[in-house]
Structure 1
Amino acid sequence: MNDPGPTRLVLLRFLERVQLRDLERTRRWIADEERREAEHQRGIEAKLAPPDWLVEHGHGRNSMAAASADMSAFPSQMPTEKALMTTDDALDQLRHIARERAFGRHVGSDRLIQAGLDALIAGVESPSLAMLAGLLRSEEPEAPELFDQVLEELGLLFHPPADPRAAKWEMAYWIAGQIADGSLDPATGTHLIWADIAYDLGYPEELKPLVHCAHNLDGWEESWGVSVEELNREAVEAAKQFLSKRSAAKAGD
């Protein structure tokens, strides 16, 4: 007879043991992430000043201290108490992290291991998945290689364009897609496009509407007479327009 493998109850008990054992590690991750966010914010504040065209035409002032362009604002970044994922949810999370890493974002071993645990409990099958999910604190350096191995086994490896500018554009489309489908907060997404993409590309015309939205959401005040919800809707619409222009260009090729 074929071995049916571990039951769901066995897997849940395994997950419980891992989480109890790693409570201290989680607290260390939180401390490390708080330090990293503070360092990143200081870098953003030193790096960005709104261009003249944005200051002249934007609603508000630049209040960089009120916002952070770190990917930590992305959903499911740190281990949290949550409902068990479906298989599709777990695979989507693996794809998302694969793109973050491919676009040069820092993804700690904590997230890689947690994604492995989520996928294992959700019933994803991969020869290396259990090894990734069960890594101990002393084995954390092995997580990136094992994560890539899991991606390869599942056919989820992602390679951005080799040209740095082309990779920035691909990242912009990826972030805009998440703003448009509601999986990423508009303020976070547009700020990422401003801080990590548009700035480096020299503020191309195609990205100016999204940068404009980021600036407005960053400096919003009640006295403007426009709600933050309306600004969010404008950002979603700007993201959709940005994506539609790419679709139209592809259709014309």
Structure 2
Amino acid sequence: MSEPSRLELLRFTRRVVEQQAGAALRQIDGWIATEERREAERRRREEASLPRPEWLLQHGLNPRNIDAVHTCDCWTVEGSDRCRPVSRDQAVEAIRHQVPACTFCRPDTALGLLE
């Protein structure tokens, strides 16, 4: 039996490294999936424990700009990451400072600012 050539040894080494790298990537992907599940569960627990806000301010792409005031159950901002909860007084103050009220959920009516 003859000794393998240098080229055959290099190809064999490449296959071994490829298998090891694939196994390492699968292991890391498993760790990532586990951590994503933990984060999702943590977020679910936090959301379940926090009281639901009554009023929301929707920010524009520039977080300094406020685009609109919404009620907490407005379908137009459901799941939006550009909204933050505010108190009733803050919502009233925003509307008084010319921040538009959402035309769908009508927070200005709910706040008693319009009849």
TM-score class, shorter: 0.3 to 0.5
Q: Normalised by the size of structure 1, how large is the TM-score?
A: 0.17
Larger Rg: 2
